């Protein structure tokens, strides 16, 4: 995991091109940790990154995001897990919640199956939410899932759960511990997804360049609209992120143009996630995409998406960083 932390050059790019020597001097002056993981590579752990960014004036915004798309296979789980991990590298205290009954997100963090408390235990047995939280790395926690969550909707029905406030009320018990909470919703219309949307400040909708995903987008937007109307909610807003884009395929450009003509630009995340085999390789090797020594599209795109979500890009644009 340490291999995936920010390197000095990463921090230098954020801090207005501050030289590596100046960053090392800053680390030493504040007695902050850095880790030598090879003769030529030193990384900065999340706690040190957080201290430096706060000292420079960056404020971590508290927010709850639901990653949702009614159609499966759009890369929702991959995006939510990698963005959460990268946000934590930037010192953002992050909780990720796996609501997908398949538990693919939980497995991506190598959690053993069925040996932990999950959300259904909160609903069915009144388990404290803190008992379901597992720390997977510095500044990154997870509430995992497994197949037992397949009965979540049934148990919520039996418990006469208040859909509007269910997830929100439970997260209110831990919200002060985190800057960012990401909810990985299942690809379906159900009670837990509706409750997650009600609790969220924003819904992130991954979209692939294919007609089925476009149909799924329409259904997802209609469902968000229905939920907001039914429960008289102002939030959540939504952002679409273009995923699995391949510039070699003409169809991708066509669908991207169609999207831009139908959706207001403020609802489209200014990041394009390109197709890359790094995601599959990382899963096969039980590793993070950021542990790879060479630069990849995956590393660059997820890094930019994480920075966009936690507000770093906007902060850099709006503020001149003193060198």
Q: pLDDT by residue (tens digit) across 68-101? A: 999 888 889 999 999 999 999 999 999 999 998 8
Structure confidence by residue, pLDDT tens digits, 223-260: 999 999 999 999 899 999 999 988 887 777 777 777 77
Entry pTM: 0.93
* Cα atoms found within 13 Å of the Cα of residue 277, Cβ hemisphere only: 1
Among the listed residues 303, 254, 316, the one whose alpha carbon sits nearest the alpha carbon of residue 274? 303
Burial level of 151, CB count in 10 A (0-12/13-18/19+)?
middle
State the chain's mean pLDDT as an integer: 90
Q: Quick one: pLDDT band at residue 210, thresholds 50, 70, 90?
A: confident
Q: Quick one: pLDDT band at residue 323, thresholds 50, 70, 90?
A: very low
- pLDDT, position 223: 95
Is pLDDT above 60 for 211?
yes
Residue of 196 and 289 predicted with greater confidence:
196
Structure tokens at 185: 């919703």
* Cα atoms found within 13 Å of the Cα of residue 163, Cβ hemisphere only: 19
Share of the chain above pLDDT 70, in %: 96
Is pLDDT above 90 for 301?
yes
Structure confidence by residue, pLDDT tens digits, 106-160: 888 888 666 799 999 999 999 999 999 999 999 999 999 998 999 999 999 988 8
- pLDDT, position 175: 97
Is pLDDT above 60 for 103?
yes
Structure tokens at 303: 């890094």
36 DSSP β-pair partners: 42
Among the listed residues 75, 54, 58, 76, the one whose alpha carbon sits nearest the alpha carbon of residue 67? 76
Distance CA 119, CA 167 (A): 10
- pLDDT, position 251: 74
- pLDDT, position 302: 96
β pairing state of 94-98 and 180-184: parallel
**Contacts (Cβ under 8 Å, ≥6 apart) of 300:** none
Q: Quick one: pLDDT band at residue 1, thresholds 50, 70, 90?
A: low
Structure confidence by residue, pLDDT tens digits, 45-74: 999 999 999 999 999 999 999 999 998 888
94 DSSP β-pair partners: 140, 180
Q: Around Cβ 234, how many Cβ atoms within 10 Å?
A: 6
In the numeric block, the tokens 């040190």 are attached to: 48
- pLDDT, position 114: 66
- pLDDT, position 112: 66
Is pLDDT above 60 for 322?
no
Share of the chain above pLDDT 90, in %: 60
């Amino acid at each position: 995991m340490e291999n995936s932390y920010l390197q000095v050059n990463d921090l230098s790019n954020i801090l207005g091109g501050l030289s590596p020597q100046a960053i090392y001097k800053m680390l030493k002056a504040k007695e902050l940790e850095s880790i030598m993981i090879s003769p030529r590579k030193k990384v900065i752990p999340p706690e040190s990154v957080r201290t430096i960014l706060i000292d420079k004036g960056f404020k971590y915004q508290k927010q709850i995001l639901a990653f949702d798309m009614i159609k499966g296979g759009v890369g929702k789980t991959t995006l939510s897990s990698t963005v959460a991990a990268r946000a934590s590298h930037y010192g953002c205290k992050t909780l990720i919640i796996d609501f997908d009954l398949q538990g693919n997100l939980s497995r991506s963090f190598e959690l053993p199956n069925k040996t932990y408390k999950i959300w259904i235990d909160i609903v069915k047995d009144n388990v404290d939410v803190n008992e379901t939280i597992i720390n997977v790395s510095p500044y990154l926690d997870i509430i995992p899932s497994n197949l037992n969550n397949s009965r979540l909707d049934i148990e919520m029905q039996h418990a006469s759960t208040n859909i509007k406030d269910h997830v929100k009320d439970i997260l209110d018990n831990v919200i002060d511990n985190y800057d960012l909470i990401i909810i990985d919703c299942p690809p379906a219309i159900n009670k837990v997804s509706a409750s997650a949307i009600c609790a969220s400040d924003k819904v992130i909708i991954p979209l692939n360049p294919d007609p089925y995903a476009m149909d799924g987008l329409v259904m997802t937007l209609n469902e968000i609209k229905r939920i907001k109307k039914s429960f008289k909610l102002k939030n959540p807003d939504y952002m679409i992120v273009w995923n699995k884009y391949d510039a070699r395929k003409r169809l991708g450009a066509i669908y991207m143009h169609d999207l831009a003509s139908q959706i207001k630009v403020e609802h489209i995340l200014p990041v394009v996630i390109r197709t890359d085999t790094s995601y599959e390789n990382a899963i096969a090797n039980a590793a993070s995409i950021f542990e790879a020594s060479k630069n990849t599209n995956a590393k660059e795109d997820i890094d930019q998406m994480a920075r966009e979500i936690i507000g770093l890009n906007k902060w850099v644009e709006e503020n001149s960083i003193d060198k």
